[in-house]
Structure 1
Amino acid sequence: MALFNDLAPDPAPSRRGRGWLGWGLLGFALAALIIIAMLPAPYVIERPGPVFDTLGDVEIDGEDVPMIQIPVEETYPTQGSLDMLTVNVSGSPSRPPSWFDIATAYVDPSKAILPMDLVYPPGTSLEDSNEQGRIDMENSQKEAIAAALTHLDYDFPSTLTVLDTATDSPADGVLEADDIITTVNGETPADVTELRALIAENGLDSAARVGIIRDGQAQTLSITPVMSDEAEPQPVVGIIVGSDFEFPFTVTIQLENVGGPSAGMMFALGIIDKLTEGPLTGGENIAGTGTITSTGEVGPIGGIVQKMWGAENAGADWFLAPSANCGEVDGHVPADLRVFSVETLDDALTALEAISSGEGLDELPTCSAP
């Protein structure tokens, strides 16, 4: 019986072999997962960016200077803050984020994941995107000044000038640099924002009649829009246009390394606050976002959820959101932020009056679902 026991097979080596095999397969799977996680993903990540108080100072060439300067007109003391928000985009066609970055952003409510092609359409470089953002910011500042001064009953003339046309676009070879755009389908756009709206309203099925002045001569051209390949597609004709206003006095907005049109409303509110006696905010910390036309219409922007998180992180208690963005706002408001919906500059000023006085807040429109 003892001999039989000595010759019987020992099952332990088989179990040990299977154990090493299991650990080996697990190690291989982990290594493969790490490799996949580090591979580039065809997405970008939006997250809250820097916050700037339009009533405060910014750093320019190492010195703190007022963001809004009005040197020749009487200005008045302000209180509180009127914060404009930004969004940082992580990733570009040359430096895409990894799948690990995408996975961590997915579980962060302050971040958004967007397809790369929506932010950087094919053929668009990071430099192209930055240049377009610079032009949009420049036009936004001009339209904000125009909206503020229009609200304060100043009169001034304006012009829309073609700066460039996109290659192979509907406007290529039809419009030229320095053409002054006067009408679209008989309507006179007050600024770049209204020009875009008129082109979008025309649609894709027929040519838009674009009135211009070229070399002092008036003429009307026919241009059929196409759908843009931007994050929010709309009919376009492929032109870069600059707004020019002959303001009655100089208003300067200084802000470096920030692009896009979404700060227009907050710029306009900051200008009005400085040019009117008594603080608009009542000392409250108020943030907001939205494009602005020279006539005071507030338009939608991108990245509003990230901007709300940026506002809360900066200590704002109140947020002014374009009504056209309410579908994105509802259900995504940070816990300590109260959001009001605005369609015009007058709506925004009404909200500031209610916030400042503490009266009528419950009557203000919000983005909550009915």
Structure 2
Amino acid sequence: MSSRTVDAAERRPSRWASMRTRTKVMLAIFVVVLLAVVAGFGIKVPYVILRPGPAPNTLGTFEGQKVLTLSGAKTYPTSGGLHFTTVSMVGGPGNRPSLIEYGLAKLDDHAQIYEESQLFAPQTTREQVQQQNEAEMTGSQSSAEVVAARQAGYDVPEMIEIAGISDSASEAKKLLRVKDVIVSVNGVKIADSLSLQREMKKVTPGQKVQLGITRGGKAMTFAVPTTKVEDRAVMGLALNPKATMPFKVNISVGDVGGPSAGTMFALAIYDELTPGALTGGKQIAGTGTMDSAGDVGAIGGIREKVVGARQAGATAFLAPADNCAELKGHVPSGLDVYRVATIKDAISTVEHVADGSTQGLPRCG
């Protein structure tokens, strides 16, 4: 009897010791995992992660503010949605993602991962990126206003000012000055960006252009050389079109930056300036830069934007012609993507989507 009692008593401490050992091991594993997670968040990697962002309706509100407000012009009630699409970005100068965020992005079907050097030049700062995004957003809004007003039948006077001269255009730098105003090309009057674009298309690359300008109110004409860029004749000038709008436009989009909402801004302004709902009450999204000549330009993150558009409930999407190839095999189910190259294309496509007559429209994907 006493022998059995002693044996049981001896075994009990052994079981407690075993449990304490297992507890210590589990605690050690937990601490190691916790330290690994903390370290993972602390280690920053030189990558940029792009995901679908919000797709605000330009005809509605965003972050509690009306996106589009027009004053000084007759406007008309509208309905439906003209959504501009965005990309959520983690990474970039001064804001690199953690190793954990990078690992999670590798498992996310909707995340695109780029090396930082693919999207940003060396030595670029976070402040420079923010400033560029703000400037591009302002420029896209200005061009959208001009284009939409003209499409709606308003006269919008425009002055084409030289904002900069390329270092490679050495002869032009000797002749021209920043703030010079372009008034003619080869004797043809330049009234706006569209007329300048039209006349420059007539110039053969390498040919000199008789460029009429005013400087401090004084008229001058110079023979400015051109070079070939993408089969076009260019003078190496950065231009700053300055338009006099017949009404005031206010666009509120919070801290969203970049130029890619230009096309959708132009459509929204045009919609409010013209009778009837351009969309026919449908939810249409899109993207694309817009210059003052009415051309739709390519943007980045097109694959993320079509996903964001579908998540926002859009069934039709307007994509820049130059982005179409990127969408092959990447269009979400339930979304029709249409190719547009100009503001006229965009307006016509929305009208066709509105009345259901989309057969024959050029598509992407």
With structure 1 as the length reference, what TM-score do the two structures score? 0.72
* Local SS of the residue matching 2:55: strand
- Look up the match of 2:27: none
For structure 1, which runs of at least 5 residues remain unmatched after alignment? 1-27, 227-234
Rg comparison, structure with higher value: 2
* Local SS of the residue matching 1:279: coil
- Look up the match of 1:43: 47
- Look up the match of 1:22: none
Tell me the number of residue pairs that the alignment of Structure 1 and Structure 2 aligns: 331
| Kept after mapping to 2: 8 A contact 1:139/1:243 | no
Amino acid of the structure 2 residue aligned with 1:301: I
- Look up the match of 1:101: 101
CA apart distance, 1:53: 1.0
CA apart distance, 1:274: 0.6
CA apart distance, 1:84: 0.3
- Look up the match of 1:83: 83
Q: Distance in 2 between matches of 1:41 and 1:169?
A: 39
Q: Distance in 2 between matches of 1:194 and 1:47?
A: 39
| Kept after mapping to 2: 8 A contact 1:191/1:293 | no
The percent of aligned pairs where both chains have the same amino acid is 38
Question: Per-residue displacement from partner, 1:294-313 (whole Å, max 9, x unpaired)?
Answer: 23221111111111111112
CA apart distance, 1:362: 2.5
Equivalence map 1:1-370=2 (5 Å): 39-59=43-63, 64-161=64-161, 178-180=179-181, 213-217=214-218, 242-358=240-356, 360-368=357-365
Q: Distance in 2 between matches of 1:191 and 1:244?
A: 9
Q: Distance in 2 between matches of 1:171 and 1:134?
A: 33
Please provide the CA RMSD for this pair: 4.4
For structure 2, which runs of at least 5 residues remain unmatched after alignment? 1-31, 228-232
CA apart distance, 1:322: 1.0
* Local SS of the residue matching 1:50: coil
Amino acid of the structure 2 residue aligned with 1:317: T
* Local SS of the residue matching 1:251: strand
CA apart distance, 1:106: 3.4
CA apart distance, 1:58: 3.2
* Local SS of the residue matching 2:48: strand
Q: Distance in 1 between matches of 2:329 and 2:285?
A: 19
Q: Distance in 2 between matches of 1:42 and 1:225?
A: 40
CA apart distance, 1:38: 6.3
Question: Per-residue displacement from partner, 1:206-242 (whole Å, max 9, x unpaired)?
Answer: 999987544334567899999xxxxxxxx99998754
Q: Distance in 2 between matches of 1:39 and 1:197?
A: 53
| Kept after mapping to 1: 8 A contact 2:197/2:293 | no
* Local SS of the residue matching 2:258: coil
With structure 2 as the length reference, what TM-score do the two structures score? 0.73
* Local SS of the residue matching 2:56: strand
CA apart distance, 1:186: 9.0
